[in-house]
Amino acid sequence: MTAAVAVDLGKTGCRAVLWDGAGPAHGVHEVPGAPGLAADGGVEAARTAVLAAVLPLLERAPSLRPAAVCVGAAGAAAAPRAARDLAGLLLGDLPTDEVAVTSDAVTAHAGALGGRPGVVLAIGTGSVAVGIGDDGAYARVGGWGPWLGDEGGGAWIGAAGLRAALRAHDGRGPDTALLAAAIERFGDPDRLPVALGRDGNPARTAASFAPDVARTATAGDSTASEIIRDAATALGETVLAAARRIGGDGLRVAVTGGLTGLGEPLLGPLRSTLAASPCALLLRPSLGDPLDGSRLLALDARTPHEPHVVRVRRAAPLPTAPTPPVTPPAVA
């Protein structure tokens, strides 16, 4: 069996796992993520995050040399040249013969549907839907980042909750328990703009408030409930747009990503939005996560996803470690 490293690089976190090709994966190692390949300095930030996640795994298994590394990276679809640059840098950094880089939405699709036709909605800090049709048609909807899109994602929900909190603080909007939640998490509202940018990744910081918005909605706060409903509607529209573009009836739909952890406050309204669609959409449990998809793409270049994967290979494979000579027994 062939060993491989799979990486899921998001804006919030970067997860990596090493498969030895024969059994369960070695433990997942997670470090902070990167702003996205399309951001200024995105390639170097992504490289730093990937190496921080992968190198400890390789150090713990020195006898394994992966044949391939696949990185599903936020922003790769919008910055294909950056994706190729990252692949080339990682090929020089890591003891492997091949590095593949693709969008984290593509690895999410591969993991969730196993390469079968359908639509996968990936919701984390951002949001994007990827559809692959029976005829190989491909559609990517959303994923335009926190300033231009990502409607319904974690940063969008968190930012909407913080805006509502500040409107209440100013007296420009209705009273809402979101203000107390924002103060508990971030402190003085007058310092909120500074707190949002203090770690250099405002989208990730805003997304950290999304669970607070969901909990406040569950507790009955009307402002928070409206934000969650609007998020579910936006996510449903994203799925429907992808389904229309790839065509077909009875399309499978899977939802994956960290934001699914919000549970029924978000997923219940999303199911209702999809059920009201004129398209026949079959919501199915995800078969795997983006790390499963990344492993699949690391080892198989024949999937329908391949046109959207950047691969960089060594001109010649790395030499295997030489076997120490066996000293013959002494002759009596």
The answer to whether position 98 is within a domain reads: yes
Question: Do the beta carbons of residue 122 and residue 129 sit within 8 Å?
Answer: yes
pLDDT of residue 53: 97
pLDDT of residue 309: 92
φ/ψ (deg, to 5) at 259: -70, -15
Token couple for 237? 């529209």
The answer to whether position 66 is within a domain reads: yes
Token couple for 150? 């990502």
What domain count does the chain have? Answer: 1
pLDDT of residue 1: 63
- Counting other chains too, the contacts that 79-83 makes at CB distance below 8 Å and 24 or more residues apart are 79/37, 79/38, 79/42, 80/310, 82/37, 82/38, 82/42, 82/43, 83/37, 83/310
The parent domain of residue 101 ranges over 4-111+289-313
Query: Distance of CA 31 to CAs 17, 73, 196, 216, Å?
Result: 12, 14, 20, 29
The answer to whether position 123 is within a domain reads: no
The answer to whether position 68 is within a domain reads: yes
CATH number for position 51:
3.30.420.40
The answer to whether position 96 is within a domain reads: yes
User: Cβ neighbours of residue 68 under 8 Å, at least 6 residues apart?
Assistant: 2, 4, 5, 96, 97, 98, 99, 100, 298, 299
Residues of the chain with pLDDT under 50: 322-332
φ/ψ (deg, to 5) at 179: -65, -45
**SS3 call for 128:** strand
Strand order in the sheet with 118-123: 138-142, 127-132, 118-123, 251-256, 281-283
- Using the structure block, give the residue that is written with the tokens 């996803």: 305
Question: Do the beta carbons of residue 113 and residue 293 sit within 8 Å?
Answer: no
The answer to whether position 148 is within a domain reads: no
Token couple for 235? 């996510």
The answer to whether position 28 is within a domain reads: yes
